[in-house]
Structure 1
Amino acid sequence: MKTAILTIFSALVLVSGIANSTYAATAKNDNNTYTVLTDISAINKIEVHGNVELYVSDASSDQVKVYNKYYSESALVQSKNGVLRITSYKAEKLVVWVSANDLRSISAYDNAEVKSFGKISKIEFDVDLHDNASAKLNLDAYSANVTVKDNAKADLNGSATELNLNRDLDSNVQSKNFTAVHYRENKIAINNDLTDL
């Protein structure tokens, strides 16, 4: 029994040593190829541009999985100073799953889609949507700040003690399954006036 435990422990140490020295590992699971980016950590903000489908979930440590043969596509996934930037302008959506311990903010632009995988539990959480981006989030937050501009759409589920909602149009936010103790809404003025060029 003691020998078996030592053998298992040795194997785990060897595997973790190999995993720590790798920056990306490609795996195949049920015909879905994905790349795990292992050199990304301390994610507190995500910026998504282009044609990206982003799934986010809470986790005890940070992990980024990029699907769709990431390295063979013209896509960019980079992390700097806690900000994870994901960009892809190909016709096929780039699918990315980010598990993060201390995620505080998501900004999405162009045709990006953001979806929570499970409930996102945070003290403070900011969502900023532009262009035709959309977000479907299940939140449990003390304070949530949601800004929806242009033709972007947000579908909110869950609850918050304080919800600050900034939006262009009444129709671009669905929150019938979201409860907030303190709710503040601001309509963003759309300036249609033409000025001298």
Structure 2
Amino acid sequence: MTAMVWRWMAALFLAGTLAGCGSMATRQAPPAVQVHTTSEPALETARLAVLDTLPAWSFQGRVAISKGRNGGNGRIDWQQQGEAYQVGLAAPVTRQSWQLSGGGGQPVRLDGLEGGPRSGTDAGQLLLQATGWDIPVEQLAAWVRGMPASGAIAPAYQGYDIEGLPRVLEQGGWRIDYLDWYPPVEGRPALPRRIEAVNGDAKVRLIVDEWSMGGP
């Protein structure tokens, strides 16, 4: 990662830190995990069945990303249509932003970087090379909805809370803690409100402000 790229990304998030998201960087560590069962409850089986019928979805929220000493905060807008995604991050104060798109047979493209867009075949690697941040983009599309990512790497561990909802998931070297949930409403199943994903010194903390399920 070049110093020029990092300075630009630092300006994007650090100079534009949101008042609502700034507290994420200093939030105390979550309390000790309370796992009540490691077998998938019937409620969770039913929730996943509903999610499988909703391939189009989106959310808006706030994210705090760090890797070692590098990190920052911003707004996140995630649009998903089947396997295709568009992920936008922005700092409203500075009006700077970047957008990652790909999936569904399309190449991965990262727009908004100084020097022009970058493209590749792996979204996570593209972000890591361009910004120094480790974000599991392909897996996060599943994890953010409270479900394991599909693929060759099976979950190493899954635990559920007293309500029968996911509490902790370990997959592909990442540990995902589900710290808060939105209750089901109007046919929409329960969905995560606050998530923390950690892999070594890489951490992604997410607060979802709004979920939308179904097509436009």
- Same-fold status (TM-score > 0.5): no
Structure with greater helix percent: 2
Q: Give the TM-score normalised by the residue count of structure 2.
A: 0.21
Q: Give the TM-score normalised by the residue count of structure 1.
A: 0.22
Structure index of larger Rg: 1
Structure with greater strand percent: 1
